[in-house]
Amino acid sequence: MGAGPAGSAAAHALATAGRSTLLVDKATFPRDKFCGDGLTTLALRQLEEIGIEPERITSFTAVDGAWLRSPSGKVHAAPLPDGPGIHAAVARRIDLDQVLVEHAIAAGAQTRFGSAITSIDPAADHVGFTTADGGAFTADLCIAADGMWSPTRKMLGLDIDGYRGEWHAFRQYWKNVGPLAARELWVWFEPDLLPGYMWSFPVGDGRANVGFGVLRGGEIKTQQMKTLWPDLLERDHIRSVLGAEAEPESPHRAWPIPARVDAAPLVGPRTMFVGDAATACDALTGEGIGQALLTGRLAAAAFVEHSDVDTALANYEDEVRSELVADHRMASTLGKWMSNRMIAELALTAVGTNGWTRRNFARWMFEDYPRAILATPRRWSKGVFTGDGAYADRPDVRV
């Protein structure tokens, strides 16, 4: 349930394996999704593995690094490797999600869009569903990819009381941006946003996704974000990147970001939670597309590989915790440190020490390797710190 990256990736994997698959979403496609639109190396490798070619995604824009502005105003370059493949890109979610849905359908998945699920009834050998338009169907398993507020979790009595996410983000699309914003990725660590940050990500055709995120419970309250937005946009160092002719092309939007995969329920009766429903976003940056694709594919693999549903559920839970929990805890710790202005300044100064530190920070920031790789020897492998990016056999995608 849910046809975003997590649900579509799961549906594609199940249909490819020959399983009867129904992809359900209350929305009709194409549809926009509030997001920063960033694609880390993790996300790009997941897309490559399921066979998504970058040129299919209209707004796909590869980037070769980031420009980071410290709280004191020092700007540091963080270039990504210039070898084969790409390590970071940006793509509008309206484009990315549509391609993922089409990819799942091409693999054999059926769809039911435009009507929400209103009830779920797990039984001993199936799950029953009813929809708002009076429809009803059954399935062997439910893969819930229905977002942070997960109606599935609520209907199963597994809701997290009072949960509103760890982060809150705010974004707006801009057009006619200057050359810096049109082709480069910028991150500003503004003193009053720490441990949050502001960003400008290029989405092609002289446009950019511009926004900021703050940690819930911090000094900036979520209800203050709308009034803070005009002030951020008028800061000279931000406006100089956006350009004098830049103007908004759409209303601003806000959304919560869930990042507590170490504590949230990952399974329920004949149900696996994936993506935002598994609260699997990165605790340091708020990025979640890579984690969504990964958890969706892990859920499908567990069901394909284990005929017994209870075994599949246990396997999925184990795999997610093995893949993501250590990295989540590392990212959470680092995020707390970054709330201190002095530590944030020192960290970014260290990034700019030399070419090696700049390149490796960028690779780490864009999840080229797991956050906690040094603390998890089981994941060590030859070339883990020097490997190619995604689509390494496609040099043209860097253009």
Q: What does the domain layout of the chain look like in residue ranges?
A: 5-37+92-163+263-334, 167-257
pTM exceeding 0.85:
yes
* pLDDT of the residue at 373: 86
pLDDT in tens, the chain (399 residues): 899 999 999 999 999 999 999 999 999 999 999 999 999 999 999 999 999 999 999 999 999 999 999 999 999 999 998 888 999 999 999 999 999 999 999 999 999 999 899 999 999 999 999 999 888 999 999 999 999 999 999 999 998 888 889 999 999 999 999 999 999 999 999 999 998 999 999 999 999 999 999 988 888 888 899 999 999 999 999 999 999 999 999 999 999 999 999 999 999 999 999 999 999 999 999 999 999 999 999 999 999 999 999 999 999 999 999 999 999 999 999 888 888 899 999 999 998 888 888 888 888 889 988 888 888 888 888 878 888 899 998 777 654
SS3 track for 108-156: CCEEEECCCEEEEEECCCCEEEEECCCCEEEECCEEECCCCCCHHHHHC
In CATH, the number for domain 5-37+92-163+263-334 is: 3.50.50.60
5-37+92-163+263-334 and 167-257 agree in CATH topology:
no
* pLDDT of the residue at 108: 97
* pLDDT of the residue at 397: 65
Q: Parallel, antiparallel, or unpaired for β 65-69 and 185-188?
A: parallel
The fold adopted by the segment(s) 167-257 is D-Amino Acid Oxidase; Chain A, domain 2 (3.30.9)
